[in-house]
């Protein structure tokens, strides 16, 4: 069973070695979806939403909210933010992390090989 919880946070960043408007300091209302994969237990529950929310907020979302993302990541692209969140939650049975920087632009990561830049 796939269980998802969505979050939002507000943060500012600027992209390094990037030519375009995103090289300048700007902010977003980011949206994050954390999806885990777990079997349904005898009580009919795959994973407790409250537990998932607490862990995601404590380990990742609270650190990102109202921050200057360049202080956390050398290159705070949406791709690197997605990988950073995955790393913070990697002991959970993660299936997917999806991060939107706008209503029409997002990055999805499902684990596996990648060239790590975070």
Q: Is 66 a catalytic residue?
A: yes
Q: Which of 6, 23, 66, 87 is catalytic?
A: 66
List, in order, residues 6 or more apart from 14 with CB less than 8 Å away: 22, 23, 24, 25, 26, 70
Q: Across-strand partners of 2?
A: 37
Residue 22 a catalytic site member: yes
Measured in whole angstroms, the distance separating CA 49 from the mean position of its chain's CA atoms is 17
Collapsed DSSP state (helix, strand, coil) of residue 2: strand
Query: Rounded CA gap, 82 and 85, in Å?
Result: 5
Q: Which listed residue (6, 22, 26, 87) is catalytic?
A: 22
Could you give the residue numbers annotated as active site?
22, 66, 101
């Amino acid at each position: 069973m796939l269980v998802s919880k969505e979050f939002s946070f507000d943060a500012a960043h600027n992209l390094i070695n990037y030519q375009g408007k995103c090289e300048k300091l700007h902010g977003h209302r980011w949206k994050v979806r954390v999806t885990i994969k777990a079997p349904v237990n005898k009580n009919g529950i795959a994973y407790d939403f409250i537990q998932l929310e607490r862990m995601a907020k404590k380990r990742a979302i609270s650190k990102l909210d109202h921050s200057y993302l360049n202080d956390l990541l050398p290159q705070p692209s949406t791709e690197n933010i997605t990988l950073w969140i995955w790393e913070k939650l990697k002991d959970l049975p993660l299936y997917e992390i999806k991060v939107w920087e706008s209503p029409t632009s997002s990055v999805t990561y499902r684990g596996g090989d990648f060239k790590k830049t975070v």
